[in-house]
Amino acid sequence: MKCTDTQNPDSFSLLSLVLPFYVPSALAFLGSGLAVPLLAIYARRLGMADAGAAFMVGLVGLGSLFFNIPAGLLMVRYGTRRAVLISTFTEAVAAVLAAFASVPWILGVAAFIIGMTQTTFFVARLAYFRTLVPAEKRGRALSLIGGENRFGYFIGPIVGGLVAQMIGFRYVFLMYALLMALSWASLFLWVPTTQRPINPNPWTPAQSWSILRKNARIFSTAGLAIITLQLMRTARQALIPLVAHSLGLSVSHIGMIIGLMFFVEILLVYPVGYAMDHWGRKATAIPCLIFLSLGLGLLPLAHSLFMMIVAVVVAGIGNGFGTGINMTLSTDFAPRDNPSEFIGMWRFVVDLGTMSGPFIVGLITGILSLSGAALLVAAVGVGGAVVMGLLVPETKPRSKG
């Protein structure tokens, strides 16, 4: 099947995205949701301290940051379909490597590779959606992708926590590998073949610099706001399990708490997509940053299971408001021709937040405490809300007539 440009909102249906995108994405998100939220605890079981376990989570973001620009450029040169098939297969292999990790450095290598492969899938999906989905329906289309992510991270940690407690972490990562293999099969069967690359020339640093220079205002405003959001999102992947672990909760209970957070987010998926398409992207982005900051700011008060649940639910409400916002803004700002290059650069810039979150948690935890790290990350999120509210232009298409 060839990839064609479908920009007419009246003739476009979200059902056309089910087999080539929603099915393989759901499988991939479920696999990731099984394993990644438990990565810090897995690292602790391999002998690492809290600070080191947080750094381990950060390696996923570091791998993503490292491969963002190459991912976009590889798609331009070799085609999006080929890139996404290779990356999905490689992610399955990395999950197997993690399953059999006996020392922390092997787990770290696997985490880094997982970040590289996940960013390729991310950039590929957005490049397809920029071409196939009209802007008037892009918020809903991408909020459903975000909803799948949250559903995977709702079911995944609960199942993963139970499996890890009953038979071991190895089997969690083997399940991850199996789901990635099924995702690969779905992509092989249904994902469209992209048109011939428009600019199949070898990459030079000047290309990336040119994209960054031409879009300097976008990256310094919208990009900065999303950096803070990504920082909070990945910081909580380290903070919440480690705070819960400090309360003496079991792995299965930690998985259930994380699952509860993503369940709250799932409830907001379609309403948030509708709001983005009808009232604007900022109408959901600003509450997202504020509530997520509040949830993380409550973690230092979580001296009981009840307060832990309160903090997690507030954080879930916040991140639920942000369903699809990163993807939607990146595709809104991307040019219609060769969107993968812009999206790769966007992903590189905002992944400065994705990468830095767990490292900040690890550094501040090592110097001060988990509570200090939570408060610092929450303060950064408040700054992001101010930037989003005052400096970021609204990208929702204006109503006709």
Tokens 């947080």 correspond to 54
Q: Confirm whether 201 is domain-assigned.
A: no
Query: Tokens standing for 24?
Result: 């393989």
CA 383 – CA 147 distance, rounded (Å): 26
Split at pLDDT 50, 70, 90, the class of 194 is: low
CA angle, 233 as apex, 384 and 66 as ends, to 5°? 95
The enclosing domain of 320 has a CATH number of 1.20.1250.20
Lowest mean pLDDT segment, chosen from 33-37, 109-113, 184-188, 252-256: 252-256
Arithmetic mean of pLDDT over the chain: 88
Over range 217-234, report the average pLDDT.
93
Tokens 């196939």 correspond to 132
Q: Confirm whether 9 is domain-assigned.
A: no
Split at pLDDT 50, 70, 90, the class of 1 is: very low
Distance set, CA 203 to CA 22, 62, 65, 199 (Å): 31, 21, 17, 10
State the pLDDT at residue 276: 92
User: Which of 65, 19, 64 minimizes the C-alpha distance to 187?
Assistant: 19
Q: Confirm whether 83 is domain-assigned.
A: yes
Domain count, the chain: 1
Q: Confirm whether 43 is domain-assigned.
A: yes
* Whether 298 contacts 167, CB under 8 Å: no
State the pLDDT at residue 204: 60
The pTM assigned to this predicted structure is 0.77
Its domain, for residue 343, covers: 17-193+214-391
Query: Tokens standing for 300?
Result: 């230092």
User: Which of 137, 376, 326, 61 minimizes the C-alpha distance to 334?
Assistant: 326
CA 79 – CA 176 distance, rounded (Å): 26
Q: Confirm whether 208 is domain-assigned.
A: no
pLDDT at residue 362 greater than cutoff 90 = no
Kindly tell me the burial class for residue 2, based on how many C-beta atoms sit within 10 Å of its own C-beta (0-12, 13-18, 19 or more): exposed
Q: Confirm whether 400 is domain-assigned.
A: no
Q: Confirm whether 80 is domain-assigned.
A: yes
Helix (H) or strand (E) holding 120: helix 104-132
CA 319 – CA 190 distance, rounded (Å): 30
